[in-house]
Amino acid sequence: MRARIPQFLQARTLAGRLFLSSVVLSVVVLVSAGAILSAFNRKAVEAAFDERLKLYLKVLVADVATMTDNGHSSEPGNLGEPQFQIPLSGWYWQILKLDKESGSANVLRASRSLFNNRLPALAEPGSPLPRSDFRDGYLNGPEGKRMRMVEQEIDLGEANRFIISVAGNAGEIAAERRRFDLTLLVTLGLLAVALAASALLQVRYGLVPLKRLRRALGAVRVGEKEHVEGRFPDEVAPLAQELNLVLDANREIVMRARAQVGNLAHALKTPLSVLLNEAGADNAPLAEKVREQSAIMRDQVQYYLDRARAAARAATIGNITDIEPVIASFIRAFSKIYHDKDLEFSFEITTALRFRGEKQDLEELVGNLVDNAGKWANHRVTIIVERDETAPTPMIRLMVDDDGPGLSEEARKEATKRGRRLDETKPGSGLGLSIVVELASLYGGAFVLEDSPLGGLRARLDLPGL
């Protein structure tokens, strides 16, 4: 099973971007530093090994010079390295004497470790020497072992020219490099883990102000605060100020829209009332048609004004309404209104739930549904409010059930259309359920009609809540 990456570390999050960029840069820097340090170490180990070989070489040169000056051929002195005495140990020295006439080079002396073998030359005798007067390089020695060798060509006059070579086991250089590289790898690995942990802590700590800003906005959204409050760093404080200005501008726009809607309502209702009054005094067909159309105009104007007011309120941030008091007041009111039908109104709510919107809109929604249920119920109306656990965002579900005749599936579709009345004997304009549909849609909710467990109709309303 693949391991799941924590959400805050995913690339699509700001924390993930900062953390991943920090880790990538740290890895690039550490790998580059490791490569550079490893290269420097290789050169340093090789240089130290060469210095060791050159020290042995200088001792041999001194012994050869002394041997030549004394005119005897005694063996050069001990170099103090037991490896030169062990056959095929990987540590060797060799002294070649050059013959000027023939140009050949004969072994004058050699370490016991060579065991009748001969060291290969790094260059042809007489080849120009580098500035250091030493030649160095890697060769394959006896038994094919890799060697690091230095040699020097000296001329002591009177036909005394020599090539002195000292070789050591190159495996020691490789072993020293591996030890250093392993130590470096472990050290840089631990450093990478420490840098990743520090980057994670830095990102988490650095983004704390944004989390506080989110919580402050959440408090505004649920109606606990009117503005974003708190102290923020200089980089975040301007954002909080701009958000507060947006919130204030939003409230001002809503208030202005409400005022304009109210003015429009008064401006239209007066002429319509005049038309109805004038037409009411006459029984002519024209007056009857004027009364009919004026009533339709009045209902339509009221419907669209209500819709405009609801849209303005739904766009307002931070309105929260307790549900239980609103429904309790409607139950008391409708119990009196339908007293002659002897209806039983009951209310069930699992916990203290709140509607994320205006109280006036909730009253209009609940009022229309309970009123409609009261018109059609025979004996009982039940209101149930619960939290919708299946919704991805916090939602509440309000269900109004009656034990009336119910509706067919086709009739339910017709009932929610604007201005449709399925029974002209019942009072009303036919706009109630269509207003419910509009309001629910404006708040991002839904409204459907279903069969009720009581045998009649269930009106189910889903709304944003807490």
Q: Please give the model's pTM, rounded to 2 decimal places.
A: 0.53
pLDDT of amino acid 361: 84
> Does domain 321-464 fall into CATH 3.10.450.50?
no
Q: How far apart are CA 294 and CA 205, in angstroms?
A: 66
pLDDT of amino acid 32: 94
Question: Looking at domain 71-172, which CATH architecture does it have?
Answer: 2-Layer Sandwich (3.30)
Task: Yes or no: say if 49 and 172 are a contact pair by the CB < 8 Å rule.
Answer: yes
Which helix or strand (DSSP H or E) is residue 221 part of? helix 208-221
pLDDT of amino acid 435: 78
pLDDT of amino acid 6: 59
- All residue ranges of the chain with pLDDT < 50 are 1-2, 73, 419-430
Task: Yes or no: say if 108 and 97 are a contact pair by the CB < 8 Å rule.
Answer: yes
Q: Which amino acid is at 17?
A: R
pLDDT of amino acid 316: 55
Residue 394's beta-bridge partner residues? none
Domain boundaries, the chain: 71-172, 255-314, 321-464
> Would 71-172 and 321-464 be classified into the same CATH topology?
no
Q: In this structure, what token pair is assigned to residue 91?
A: 């540590």
* Phi/psi-derived region of residue 23, left when phi > 0, alpha when psi is between -120 and 50, beta in every other case: alpha
pLDDT of amino acid 424: 42
The number of beta carbons lying within 10 Å of the beta carbon of residue 94 is 23
The SS3 call for residue 236 is coil
Q: In this structure, what token pair is assigned to residue 69?
A: 């000056």
